[in-house]
Amino acid sequence: MWTKIRAFFKDSETIFLARLQTLLGIISAAWLAIDHNAIAQYIESKWIPVYLIGDGIVTEVARRYRATDLK
């Protein structure tokens, strides 16, 4: 089973993160379409930029981890 999961992501952390971000974006959009204040109940707006910056850093680290031309 683990082999199939790794094959789905082509053994790449960057592809995994990109697909995870897409899934979270779809879920968030659907959630906001149902209730505009849904996310505001759980996440303060001041933390959204922190999340976006952290997510960008994690994605960049994953990309550089696999990139042979950057080493």
User: pLDDT tens-digit profile of 48-63?
Assistant: 788 888 888 888 888 8
The whole-angstrom separation of Cα 3 and Cα 9 is 10
The whole-angstrom separation of Cα 58 and Cα 2 is 23
The predicted pLDDT at position 71 comes to 54
Q: Are 14 and 66 in contact (CB under 8 A)?
A: yes
Q: Which of 15-19, 23-27, 44-48 has the lowest mean pLDDT?
A: 44-48
pLDDT band at 44 (very low <50, low <70, confident <90, very high): confident
Does this model's pTM top 0.85? My answer is: no
The predicted pLDDT at position 70 comes to 58
Tokens found for residue 32: 């906001």
